[in-house]
Amino acid sequence: MATARDYMTGSAECIGENETLEQAAQKMVQLEVGSLPICGDDNRLKGVVTDRDIVVKCLATGGDPRTALAGELGGGKPVTIGADDDIEEAISTMQKHQLRRLPVIDGHDLVGMLSQADIARSYPRERVGDLVEFISFD
């Protein structure tokens, strides 16, 4: 049985909930990623911020990314997948919540990020088209 751990990108870096969206954007550029998990002062996952979130939820509404905090976009309970959960469950979770990326946790610890691209790279070739269709937005 293939698990989320088998497909994920390990050692995900967080943006702190009290760091600015400008800092998040700078970190995304540095790491060459489009999203970052948001971690609290208690080292618990608070959510995920994407480059699109910064544009749509901050800039487009007149917000200032130099003062807006990452934690302001990370409200609610984040959708995650367990590191040892079956990859098919991860795909189902992505489809159900219309997500292309999932934080991967082991207990309460963030151990990586699982993206649609991570899965596609290792998924059986004949099923990659189905994968994209399952997760893509309507």
Answering whether pTM is above 0.95, one says no
Is the confidence at residue 88, as pLDDT, over 70? yes
- Taking 80 as the threshold, does the pLDDT of residue 45 lie above it? yes
Q: Assign 132 a pLDDT band (cuts: 50, 70, 90).
A: low
Q: What is the pLDDT of residue 54?
A: 94
Question: Residue 126: pLDDT above 80?
Answer: no
CA 52 centroid distance within chain: 12
Provide the domain count of the chain.
Answer: 1
97 is in which domain, residue-wise?
A: 4-135
CATH of the domain at 127: 3.10.580.10
Q: At residue 100, does pLDDT exceed 90?
A: no
Q: 81 to each of 55, 64, 78, how far by Cα in Å?
A: 26, 32, 10
Q: By C-alpha distance, which of 40, 26, 34, 27 is closest to 9? A: 34
Give the model's pLDDT for residue 12: 82
Residue 14 carries which side chain, given as an amino acid letter? Answer: C
pLDDT tens-digit readout, 53-77:
999 999 999 999 999 999 988 666 7
Taking residues 24-33, report their average pLDDT: 94
DSSP 76-109: SPPP-EETTSBHHHHHHHHHHHT-SEEEEEETTE
Average pLDDT score over the chain? 86
